[in-house]
Each structure stands twice: as structure tokens, then as C-alpha cells.
Structure 1
Amino acid sequence: ETHRPQGKLKALAFCRNVTHARMMAEAMGEHYNTAYLTGRNDIGERIRAYNDLQSDRAQLEILFTVDILNEGVDIPGVNMVLFLRPTESSTVFIQQLGRGLRKYDNKHYVTVLDFIGNSYKRSVQIAFALSSLAENFVLEKRLMASLVRDNFSALGLADSGVEIHIDDLSKEEILRYIDQENFNSIVYLKKDYYNFKKYINSEFCPKHMDYLNNDCAPDIIRFMSVKTDGKKNYSYYNFLRGIDEEGLPTFLEEQVEFANYMSGFLPLVRTYEYEIVNCLLEGATNKETVINSLKERIFDYNDEAFLHAIEFFKYISENDNKLELRAKLDDQFKEYLCDLIEYGITRYKVDNGEETGFKLWQNYRMDQVQLSLLKNPGYNALGTYYYDDYVVIFASLKKDLPEEDKLNYKDKFLQSNLFQWESMANLPMSDLSKLERSSFAHLFIRKVSIENGIVLPFTYVGKGTLSNCRKTDGENGTYLFDIKMENELPAYLQYDFGLIKQ
């Protein structure tokens, strides 16, 4: 009653099992109008209960449920959520929490009462859920730990009237858990996979597109990035094979290698490669036919990008104006590829719309940057690249080093729009001249290189101009530059990159 919203109470309560739901409905029925739903209720009974809960004219105030609301039913009128059961699934937890977060007329907020709050695992789930609200969130321990220590203030949720307070004991438990656990381990991701499979009620393994069509889907690219039995998966198929998923089609190893190669483009920074393969799978072979098709599919099509894609795509050969896909195809493998291609292109359109070029604050791998610039994507072993009148700089902040070791590294933000950058050692004078004469620099930043065996991407922080060149005192021939950025870092990145101290 202390937390009861104004107007009619419309509460969803998540219970452990059928017996628990029935007992809670009976006990709370002495004070409220209650009902409970289980998998035994038919669709008609469920819909009537959902409508009665939302209706201001019906008497139902609290609806106790067991799992069935994980089927995608939307009840936006809910103004209170009660957690009466623990769950090991972050996917299900976030989905249940989201039941109360839907917008609805005259609904200004939702009240969440968590009766499992004394469990540190639940506290960790909440930390996961809230951390994922950060823009372009990458699961990275130091970011999560920083957010927890500061009660997630860097996310700016207070601007929306949301305040989060975690007691010191829970913080200590959460931080210890974050430090000890490998969230990219196959144990965690296998659990995420099977929870999601159960959530969408799929008898067979979910397709790539299923991960786009459900709000609470895990990121399928994480499944591709992790290692199984000491080897990186590279593709969704290898992940499924690594966890011994049943009912998988059997692909030839050369088909698996092609699936790995295609998956390596994800998330796409352009759609040319996928659209070209799409055309070839549809039967097109003539180069001009493919080009004409791409002009219809890619709104900003240009020949230079097309020729670049053909030049560097390992599995396409060109002869007498004919394009050929050098991959063994059968019906099952084509079905897998079509699903993968649809996923890649659809996700690209969702993420980018009709925008071109690098997106501020977006994450990129080195090979993706080179691909976007129409350069050799395999040329990605250096930290600085010189092109025409501009340079591309990749800088690591070394946040994973002890404080005393960090002092040996000069790369850091001095202000929200000013970055201090140290060149490579023994810099040739010709390269120094290119830096000094450059019109601008594309700057990509990351805090740490590798975490739990996963190579982390860089964040694009925009264009900047190099100035104030000075030689360092050391004997390694490095130079310091100040890079004046065109855009100021948003608050959450100032926090993440260490400009705002904890």
C-alpha cells in the first residue's frame, strides 16, 4: 500500500510455480481483487485476464503468473511489477521488468517491488539490465563496475525521474562477482541461448532473424565471438555445433569456413558484400545484372565501393564479365546463408538508416574502418594510417593496467573535446610530416584491448585536428599531439573514458 500508484492498481506478479501463484492469489485475495494464470489456461481466459487488469472499469488488481508472459503478450497498462521468484535468466528478468515499462495513457511511471532483493545474484541481474541502457553498450567489466559504484548516475536516468540506490553491501557483492566472473564464458552464453530458445518457444534452434525480432534477445554476435573448446566460433553455426545443439544440418567444412567468413562482416558497415552474395544466390552471374540489382537495393550505390567489395571478397571470382561465388551450395546451406544475409542487412538498416560514413560514438573494429574507407581490410595491424590529406588514429587508454603503469602511457582526454595522443616509437620524419600537414584525423578510442579472451572494438569519437606537436623526453622518438575534436564527448563517455573521475 505504501507504494500503490494513484488510481486503479494494475499489478503483475511473477511467481515460482503454479502452487505458488495459486497460494499468493488466495492470500492476497483477502485484501485485493486477484487472479492467477498458468499454462493450463487457454488463450481466451488469458486475454480476458489481461483486458480486465488494464481496464479501469474491471475489478482485477493483481494478476499472478507463471512464465506464460514470456510469450510476448503486451500489457502496457501495468503500473506495478512484483518479483516473487528468483530467476537465473537475465533475458527473462529483463523481459519481465519490461512488462511494466511500456508507455500508456496517463501512466507516468511504474513501481517495481523486488522481494528477491536480498540475493546478490538478483542485484547483479539488475546491474546487467541497467548497464545495457548505456548507448552502444559493450559488455565490459570496468564500465559495469564504475556504473555500479556510482549508482548508474552517468546514464543520466535522473533526467527522466529515475533514481537508483544500491546499498554498500550489495555493491561489494556485485563488484566482487563482476571481478571474478568471465561473462563471455561458454557457460553464460549457453545459458543465454537456451533461455532465449525457451522464451520464443522454439522447438528448433532460433534463426539469425529471431534475434532481431525479439526485444529481449541476446546479441548473437557475442555467440560468434566467444571460444568453444579453445577456438573462436566465428559463426552462429559453430557456436551451435560447439554446444552440441540438436537438429543441426551437417555442412561441409568448406561451407562452415564460408559461413565463418560471411559472419565476420557483422555488424555490417556497408551492405555491398551481402547484397552481392544475395544476387549470386538468386542466380545472377552477369556483372552488369548484379550492378543494376545493387542500384535498386543500395540507396547510395557507387561503383567504387562495388569494385572494392569485389576486389577484397575472398570467395568471388570474376571472369569475362561474369561473377562466380566459390562456395559449395545445397538447399540447407543456402537457407542458412539467406537467413544470415537477411539478418545482416536488416540490422544494418535498423542501426544506420540512410546515414553513411562513421557514426559518432559507434563501435568499430579496425577491419571495418578500413572497409568503410575503401582500403585493404586486411591492413589492420598498426595504430596509425596515413591517407591522402588525413590520418586515422586508433588509441588505447590502457585502463586495464595498474595505476603506476598507466603513467607510462600518454594517451588520454584532457578535456571533453581535447585528446592528448602519443605517436608510435621511432617515428620516421616522413610520417611526422604527414601528421603535421594532415587536414584532420579520424579518432577511434578503446579503454582495453582484450577482456576474457574477447577483442574489444574501438569507439569512434569523431574528427579532430592535430596541433601542439612536441617531442617527448624519452629515447624512443615519440611525439605528443593535442587533437582538438569537433564534438564533445557525451557525459557517459566522459565517465567511461576516465575524464570524469569516480
Structure 2
Amino acid sequence: QVIMLRPTESPIVYIQQLGRGLRLDKGKDFVTVLDFIGNYDKNYNIPIALSDDHSYSKIEARRFVASGDSIIYGNSTISFDEVSKAKIYESIDKASFSKDAILVEAYMELKSKLGRIPKLIEFRKYGSMDVLNILSKYNSYHNFLKKKDKDYHTAFSPKAEKMLEYLTKIIAPGKRVLEVEVLKMICSGGDSVKERIEEMHPELDQNALNNIVSVFDGTFYKNDIKLISENKVCDDFLHMMEEAGFKEAVQDLMDLGLDNNTSYSPLYRDTNFVLNRMYTYDDVCRLMNWKANVNAQTIGGYKFDETTKTFSIFINYVKGEDVVESQRYDDHFENRNTLIAFSKSTEGKGAKNMVCVGDQANNDVRIHLFVRKNKKDEGSKEFYYLGELDFVSFMNDEKPVKIMYRLKDEVRSDLFDYFNS
């Protein structure tokens, strides 16, 4: 029997301690391990250690806690009681996997293994941490290397650094391959950009075509970062490509984006989304092919876009104490197929948004659901995409309106347990 009382902060040390009880011996059939996980805050190390997944991905850590028995190899079994699950989930939510100590340790370990500065794509290839943790903290790999590796001596102009940060944001996660393909085309220069995109992807409708152009001409995010202008590649960008190391940095991003995109498949019901994957507000606005980005405050829980006829609902499943009482509604899943949600406090059944929802059967509006456990998930502002909803009924006549929806695809069991833990 092994009793864990030490506040272990490293998955490696945790496995070493556990290993004391796993030594084989004649007549020894099993070992009992009692881990008093309530004694320390870094319970997230448990799924990382037991799963041997060193990517420091919150998605994978939660999934392991929910269904460890079904995803580990061999004839071992792992199960967590409900109290332990809740504590580990809470620890994962509170944890920041973008702390310098974690990032630098993973980076230096991989650099030592390769004997050189790693390419972005090599972090996953060699089983290291998810490099997006580095990119989300430092906004670009260049920024990280400049501050953390004394062997890195590349310097870019301020404009080029700003451009790299922007491209890191939209290219590195690989949530839509179209951005990577269009960027590759832009890197070659030339005119008639829109027409070349149409030739490359004749299946794109006008909304999608306008959207992807707006991402690169500065109008989607309403910023001054432009790769194209007046339907041709900007000279400024082409000059940046001539700076020593910049072209290689952009290629590194595109390689990473393409590699990450392999996990964004299959696409859900003729959308740009993958069921049960995570997306930010920015991602949703862009991948819904809206004309421009909309900030979270303006969205306020849901947003109807008339041009694309899409209605996107964003739910924080657990309302924090900082949420005002008038907005602390009891949105919840009655079961894996049924969602009960509320309108904004100022909107009744006659409000434009609610009329749109209630008349869904006749207006061809597609209602999409995005859910996160709570908005205090450190280091992540992403929502799980849970697919499309069908309006069932309004359940009251007051403000806010209580609404019943039916999910076209039931909530995956591990996510359902996580939301309700």
C-alpha cells in the first residue's frame, strides 16, 4: 500500500512515487494507492502523470478524468470518485499551463533532445507540450525565443513583429485550413487575390469569400495589419518577407497550422466547426463567416447574424459570484439531448432575437451552441462546440424568457459529466 501525502508538483515525481508500489514481487497481486489529493492545489498533475500525456492540454486532462479506463493501454483500470473528479476538474480549470516554469522546462528539454532550436511542429512530433501554450502566452514564437533563449539572435522590425503576432493568432491553431492556404498564396505576391482564392476554392459562397478576404485586409478585426489591399498583396508585407528569418518564421507557422488542422476533422454539418472541439469568441465570429469580429460584451450570451442566418449561443455553465444576480440564470442540460436556457434579462418573446428563435422552423436560421464550464478557466477563453439546436418551446411569458432546445447531437458523456460535476 502506498499513501500519498506529499504535495507533489511534478508529474514525473508523482509517477516515481507511484512506481514504488508497482514493483513486481512474488505473491504480490495488487497495490492499493491512497492519494489525499485534497492536500494540494496541483491535482491536474494526476491525469497528466497517469495518462503519460505531456502536452499540458486541458481538454485531454479532463477527458482522461472522465474516461480514463477506456483510453489507457493494457489491463490497468483507473476510476475517480465524484468528489475526486470535482477536485481535479477544479484544479484543471484554475491551472495556468502557460507559466514560464512549465514552458521553459518543456522547451529546454526538447531543445536538448534535438541539439538545436525546435521548429513549432516538432513539439507534438516528439511528444512535448502543446506549443500553443507558448504562443498564447507570448503571442509569437519569436517573442518567446527572444526572451528565453540566449542562443536566439534573430531580430525583426516592429512592424514585422506585429505581423507575426497577428499571423500566430489566426494561423497557428489551424482551426480552418483556408487561412493557411490563402496565406501561402499571399506569400507568393501578385494581384487579383480575390479571384485567385475563388479559383482555388470554387465551393466558397460569397459570405465565406468576403470573410477570408477581410481577415487579410484588416477589415475583419478593424486593425491596421494588412497583407492585402485593393485586391493585391501589400508591398509592406513583401518587404517583411525579405527580412532575415521572417519568411522561415511564417513557414513555421503554416506548417504548424496544417499539422494542427489534421485534428479538426470531420467538419460538422456543412460548417467550419468540429463537434466537441473548443473555440474562442473570435474563432466563432470568423468561422461563422461574419463580416466583422464582435466583442464578447456586445454578444452578451447570443448573437444573430442576419447575413449568414446563424444564431450563436454562448453559455457559461457555472455562474460565478461576480455575475450580477439579474444575469445568473439557471442554464442547464436536463439530459444529454435537452437544454434549458434563458434570454437576456431585457428580452421577452416579442424581442427580435426571440422571434428569430421561435420561428426557426420557417426562417431557416441555424442555432449553434457553445458551452464552457465557467469563464474563470485560466489561460483559456474557449467554448466547447456542441452542435446545432432545434427550438422546442418558450416555457414562460416573462423576461427573461425560459427556452427549451433539443440538441441535434447529444452531449458527449464525458463533457456532460464535466459540466455537471
Q: 1:399 to 1:189 in 2, by over 3 A?
A: farther
Distance 1:366 1:458 in 2: 8
Residue matched to 2:312: 392
Structure 2 contact 68–79 (Cα < 8 Å) conserved: no
In the alignment, is residue 217 of structure 1 matched against residue 128 of structure 2? yes
Quote the offset at 1:348 in angstroms: 1.1
Distance 2:100 2:318 in 1: 26
Question: What letter corresponds to residue 276 of structure 2 in structure 1?
Answer: W
Distance 1:248 1:112 in 2: 54
Quote the offset at 1:154 in angstroms: 3.7
Distance 1:463 1:334 in 2: 40
Distance 1:178 1:128 in 2: 10
TM-score by length of 2: 0.72
Q: Which of the residues 190, 206, 215 maps onto 1:312? A: 215
In the alignment, is residue 197 of structure 1 matched against residue 100 of structure 2? no
Give deviations 1:376-418, integer Å, cap 9, x for gaps.
352132121113454211111126559xx89943111111111
SS at match of 2:109: helix
Q: Which has the higher contact order (CA 8 A, sep 6+)?
A: 2
Residue matched to 1:340: 253
Distance 1:176 1:350 in 2: 26
| C-alpha RMSD of the superposition | 4.4
Distance 1:272 1:158 in 2: 32
Q: 1:370 to 1:132 in 2, by over 3 A?
A: farther
Q: 1:325 to 1:156 in 2, by over 3 A?
A: farther
Distance 1:180 1:350 in 2: 26
Residue matched to 1:423: 343
The unaligned stretches of length 5 or more in structure 2 are 1-7, 19-28, 219-225
Residue matched to 1:492: 414
Distance 1:180 1:359 in 2: 26
The equivalences for 1:316-395 within 5 A come to 316-319=227-230, 321-324=231-234, 326-327=236-237, 328-329=240-241, 330-352=243-265, 357=271, 358-381=273-296, 382=299, 383-388=301-306, 389-395=309-315
SS at match of 2:330: coil
Identity, % of aligned positions: 21
Quote the offset at 1:280 in angstroms: 2.6
Distance 2:89 2:259 in 1: 37
Residue matched to 2:25: none
Residue matched to 2:156: 251
Question: What letter corresponds to residue 103 of structure 2 in structure 1?
Answer: L
Structure 1 contact 280–325 (Cα < 8 Å) conserved: no
The unaligned stretches of length 5 or more in structure 1 are 1-86, 98-110, 227-232
Structure 2 contact 371–383 (Cα < 8 Å) conserved: yes
Residue matched to 2:401: 479
Distance 1:243 1:123 in 2: 28
Q: Which of the residues 391, 411, 432 maps onto 2:354? A: 432
Give deviations 1:143-196, integer Å, cap 9, x for gaps.
59xx7xxxx45445289754126799x999989987986443222222222223
Q: 1:245 to 1:451 in 2, by over 3 A?
A: farther
Structure 1 contact 398–406 (Cα < 8 Å) conserved: no
Quote the offset at 1:494 in angstroms: 1.4
Q: Which of the residues 458, 461, 464 maps onto 2:383? A: 458
Distance 2:183 2:335 in 1: 45
In the alignment, is residue 449 of structure 1 matched against residue 354 of structure 2? no
Q: 1:243 to 1:325 in 2, by over 3 A?
A: same
Structure 1 contact 391–442 (Cα < 8 Å) conserved: yes
Residue matched to 1:38: none
Residue matched to 1:264: 169
SS at match of 1:465: strand
The equivalences for 1:126-145 within 5 A come to 126-130=46-50, 138=58, 143=62
Quote the offset at 1:370 in angstroms: 1.7
Distance 1:463 1:245 in 2: 49
Structure with the greater alpha carbon radius of gyration: 1
Q: 1:209 to 1:172 in 2, by over 3 A?
A: closer
Distance 2:313 2:47 in 1: 33
TM-score by length of 1: 0.62
The equivalences for 1:66-85 within 5 A come to none
The equivalences for 1:296-307 within 5 A come to 304-307=207-210
Distance 1:432 1:318 in 2: 39
Distance 1:391 1:371 in 2: 14
In the alignment, is residue 157 of structure 1 matched against residue 157 of structure 2? no
Question: What letter corresponds to residue 276 of structure 1 in structure 2?
Answer: V
